[in-house]
């Protein structure tokens, strides 16, 4: 049954292939090959969210490592096409953890990382613009105070200065009143 479903897939009859994989999975829920091929069919039919769910199912523990590695890789491809770069990077990393020699996964990981870097600088430029605008606002002269406010502030500062001087003088007099004992 899998071979006939695969033939439909090869002939790009994805809707029929999907039905064939569904029939196989109704009889054998745990058939990893059928689930993997079904996920690929979902992707070809632009059912990317369904494809991701199917690949997630295949990446669970207990599945053969080679199947999990392929599922992580294909999940990374789907996520990259959806421009979910952070998630795709993680999928490629998981694929490489299972098979460090997979050059395609390594290349796609690098491409996704570069795409993410290219995507982030415009956001940084916007942040710089906002900071510059805030600095300009801070550098703008503060509104001038009127004559009464200035006189009031000046009186307050003079009063504080007098209090500080009085405290200092009283501390000096206390220090000079203490007689040092000559032992």
Do the beta carbons of residue 133 and residue 127 sit within 8 Å?
A: no
Q: What is the pLDDT confidence band of residue 133, given thresholds at 50, 70 and 90?
A: confident
Q: Whole-angstrom Cα distance, residue 20 to residue 26? A: 10
Nearest CA to 40 out of 14, 22, 60, 16 is that of 14
Residue for token digits 């295949």? 58
How much is the average pLDDT of 36-49? 91
Q: 3-state DSSP call for residue 10?
A: helix
Do the beta carbons of residue 33 and residue 54 sit within 8 Å?
A: no
How much is the average pLDDT of 14-36? 89
- Tell me the per-residue pLDDT of 74-130, one tens digit each, with 9 for 90 and over: 999 999 999 899 999 999 999 999 999 999 999 999 999 999 888 876 555 566 677
Record the pTM. Answer: 0.63
For each of the domains in the chain, give its residue range(s) and CATH number, in order of start. Answer: 1-47 (no CATH), 59-120 (1.25.40.10)
User: Is pLDDT at 183 greater than 60 in this prediction?
Assistant: no
Do the beta carbons of residue 8 and residue 17 sit within 8 Å?
A: yes
Do the beta carbons of residue 99 and residue 71 sit within 8 Å?
A: no
Q: What is the pLDDT confidence band of residue 160, given thresholds at 50, 70 and 90?
A: very high
Task: Provide the token pair at 135.
Answer: 């600095």
Q: Whole-angstrom Cα distance, residue 39 to residue 26? A: 15
């Amino acid at each position: 049954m899998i071979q006939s479903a695969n033939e439909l897939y090869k002939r790009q009859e994805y809707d029929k292939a999907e039905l064939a994989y569904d029939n196989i999975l109704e009889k054998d829920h745990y058939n990893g090959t059928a689930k993997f091929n079904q996920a690929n069919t979902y992707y070809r039919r632009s059912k990317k969210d369904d494809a991701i769910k199917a690949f997630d199912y295949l990446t669970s523990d207990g599945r053969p490592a080679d199947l999990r590695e392929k599922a992580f890789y294909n999940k990374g491809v789907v996520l990259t096409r959806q421009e979910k770069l952070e998630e795709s990077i993680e999928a490629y990393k998981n694929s490489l953890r299972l098979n460090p020699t997979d050059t395609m996964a390594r290349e796609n990981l690098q491409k996704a990382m570069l795409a993410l870097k290219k995507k982030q600088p415009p956001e940084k430029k916007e942040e710089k613009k906002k900071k510059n605008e805030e600095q300009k606002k801070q550098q703008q002269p503060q509104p001038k105070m009127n004559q009464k406010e200035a006189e009031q502030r000046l009186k307050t500062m003079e009063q504080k200065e007098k209090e500080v001087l009085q405290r200092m003088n009283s501390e000096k007099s206390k220090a000079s009143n203490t007689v040092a004992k000559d032992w």
